[in-house]
Structure formats: C-alpha cells, structure tokens
Chain A
C-alpha cells in the first residue's frame, strides 16, 4: 500500500517541480511585466499546490496534513490577490508616469 502512496507522491511532487521550472523560465524569459506575472502565478499556485498535495500522504499525522491543506488554501487566496495587486500597481505606474 505504501508503494502506491510513494508513487503518487513522486508523480505529484515532480509535476509541482515542473511547474516551478515553467514559472521560473517564464519569469526570466518573458518580454513584458504582465506576461511575467502570468507565468509567476502559475508557478506559485500550481507548483506549491502540487508539491503540497504530493506530500499530503507522507505527513506524520492528520494535523500536519491538515496544516498542509490550510497552507495551500491560504496560498491560493494570497496568490490570487497579490497577482491582482501587482498587476494594478504595474498598470497604474505605467499610465500615470
């Protein structure tokens, strides 16, 4: 049974790391600020989310697993809000200056 959980963890964590790779490459290579923001929020929510889901079955007890889920939830809200805030900041500083 644990082999199944280990295999699931490997699959989820490697996809999470892949999204981090995609987000980092996007953050470095994209031409414009807003496109970089698009790449960044993918790496943020998806990369961290998949890693958190991958590590869920490996957590020592239920409390740690629950804490992992809470972190992922907070990061979803925080990632969405900060993405909007940064985009608004960029839009304002581009048009007012």
Chain B
C-alpha cells in the first residue's frame, strides 16, 4: 500500500515536471503563471502522498502552504499589472 502512495507521488511529480515546459514556451505571463499554479497544486498533492506514505503528518501542512502560495502568486500577477493601481481599481471604464 505504501508503494502505491510513492508510485502515485512519483507520477504526479513527473506530470508537474512536464507541465513546467509551459513555463518555458508560454507566450504570455498568464501561461507561465498557470504553470506556477500547477506546480503549487501538484507539489501539494505530492506532499500529501509522500506524507501519507511515510507517515509524516507534518507534510499536510506543507501541502497547505503550497496551495496557499500558489493562490497568492496568481493574485500578485494581476495586482502587479502595469495599468492597475493594485487590487482597488475602479470597474467603470
């Protein structure tokens, strides 16, 4: 059963590694942010799987952290847009 966790974790790791290719090719910053987002979520999934397989319950916190940071990265992308005043932009255009 433990081998199943490590096998699934290895598979998710390979998939997330492949998804990083989008980081290189991605024409726009949005594509690169998507690869970073998948890295965060995939990393969280790997942390969960390896944590359950090895019995280290602290890995659940690692997964929580990775999932949160990936979300903040997407917010940072949009807040840092050149034409924006951060989050508080007026919607009427």
Contact = CB atoms under 8 A, between A and B. Distances in A.
A88 B78 contact: yes
Nearest to A47: B45
Nearest to A64: B57
B34 A40 contact: yes
A92 B15 CA distance: 30
Contacts of A86: 30, 33-34, 37, 74, 77-78
B79 to A, nearest CB: 9
Contact of A52 (B48, B57, B81, B83): B48
Contacts of A43: 38, 41
Nearest to B4: A10
B81 A89 contact: yes
Interface of B: 1, 4-5, 8, 11-12, 15-16, 18-19, 21-22, 27-31, 33-35, 37-38, 41-42, 44-45, 48-49, 52, 55, 57, 60-61, 63-64, 67-68, 70-71, 74-75, 77-78, 81, 83
The 8 closest A-B pairs by CB, nearest first: A78-B71, A82-B74, A90-B30, A24-B15, A85-B78, A24-B19, A44-B41, A75-B67
